[in-house]
Amino acid sequence: MNATTYGMDIAKNVFQVHWVDGNTGEICRKKLPRGKVTEFFAVRPAGRIAMEACGGAHHWGRTLGPLGHQIELLPTHQVRPFISGNKDDAADARGIWLAAQHGDIRRVAVKSSEQQAMLSLHRMRTHWVSVRTATVNALRGLLYEFGVTLPRGRHSGLRQLAQQRAEINDAVPAVMVRLVDDQLLALADIERHVQAMEEEISLMLKSQESARRLRDTPGIGVLGATALAATLGDGTSWRNGREFACCLGLAPGHRGTGGKVRIGSISKRGNAYLRTLLINGARALASREHPAPWIVALLGRRPFNVVVVAIAHKLARIAWALVAHGRAYEASWKATAPRQRVQARCKPVLHDQRRGDAPQCA
């Protein structure tokens, strides 16, 4: 047992800490109010503090790390199997402590405040986009009750609504006319929020070197470059690009029993937002009038959507390589096999046993 390993279950106000005393072997539990957490760990010997990678975990990682402790953020879904019995704060802290003893669980890197600020911009933009979509759908549904049908698509529907507004006003009650005006004003306000988020993301792109390198990669736009740069950090949280692509759910899942393994569809694990951006970029590459020769070869033997996922997988691996190695994108770059030691093979030569000659290496 590691006496300096602390399992901490974080919350809004009350925190639960679980650890084992290395000298006595005593199991220790302590409930801390939010204001006492920093004070408690400031006087404790330097050790490992394990937490679930949930809301507020990165903040506490940045707060407790400078005190000399090693911060380990564990994926929530991998901690859950270690929690036994009734679920409460003490059981959660114990489960986190048990999970921290397993080195095969991949740790989540603590994000800086700049990384979280960039990801917050993306989340708020996604929020306003979803509100915009819901508002358009609500407007379409209300008008349908009065026999007015709008075509599919936000732009097409609003364009037709503007063109036929006089006829629609005559066909619906006055209350409905006012409701349509309110919805259109709300849509205009939401559109301003979305544009403000996109402008701020574009400004932050200019100040980040890794994001600018990612932006030069075909299939990765402004949103993809900034989101990937904020998620990857320095890239050291993943051993290679393949592991990063697997963490995004772009690798096939499998099931096996009795020695027989069946490969299925992609796992769709990890960050769904990043996966969506990469697949959209990959679809744009595959839909070009003159795609790359290797994409044409893939399209010749695989379905279109399978090719799109394969391109997205490759984009994820390229993004990791550019960030982890600090390189710029080169279209003509080709991977080379790692150097292998060339060992001279020993070739036995016929020898005369009567003379006692030993075999020689050619």
pLDDT tens per residue across span 219-238: 999 999 999 999 999 999 89
Q: Which residues contact 214 (CB under 8 A, 6 or more apart)?
A: 220, 224, 225, 228, 229, 319, 322, 323, 329
- Confidence check: pLDDT of 1 > 50: no
Model confidence, pTM: 0.85
Q: Computed from CA positions of residues 241, 245, 248, 253, in that sequence, does the dihedral angle turn out positive or negative?
A: negative
Distance from C-alpha of 119 to C-alpha of 114, rounded to nearest angstrom:
9
Report pLDDT for 273. Answer: 96
* CATH entry, 5-100, from 3.10.310.10, 3.30.420.40, 3.50.50.60, 1.10.645.10: 3.30.420.40
Report pLDDT for 25. Answer: 85
- Backbone conformation region of residue 58, classed left if phi is above 0, alpha if psi is from -120 to 50, else beta: alpha
Binned at pLDDT 50, 70 and 90, residue 91 comes out as very high
Report pLDDT for 349. Answer: 42
What's the distance, CA 235 to chain centroid? 12
DSSP conformation letters of 311-362: HHHHHHHHHHHHHHHTPPP-TT----PPP---PPP-------TTTTPPP---
- Confidence check: pLDDT of 338 > 70: no
pLDDT tens per residue across span 294-325: 999 999 999 999 999 999 999 999 999 999 99
The whole-number average pLDDT for the span 112-122 is 95
Report pLDDT for 340. Answer: 52
Compute and round to an integer the Cα radius of gyration of the chain.
29
The domain ranges of the chain are 5-100, 113-206, 209-252+264-325
Average pLDDT, the chain: 90
Q: Residue 292: helix, strand or coil by DSSP?
A: coil
The whole-number average pLDDT for the span 224-253 is 94
Binned at pLDDT 50, 70 and 90, residue 3 comes out as low
Q: How many CB atoms lie within 10 A of CB 96?
A: 28
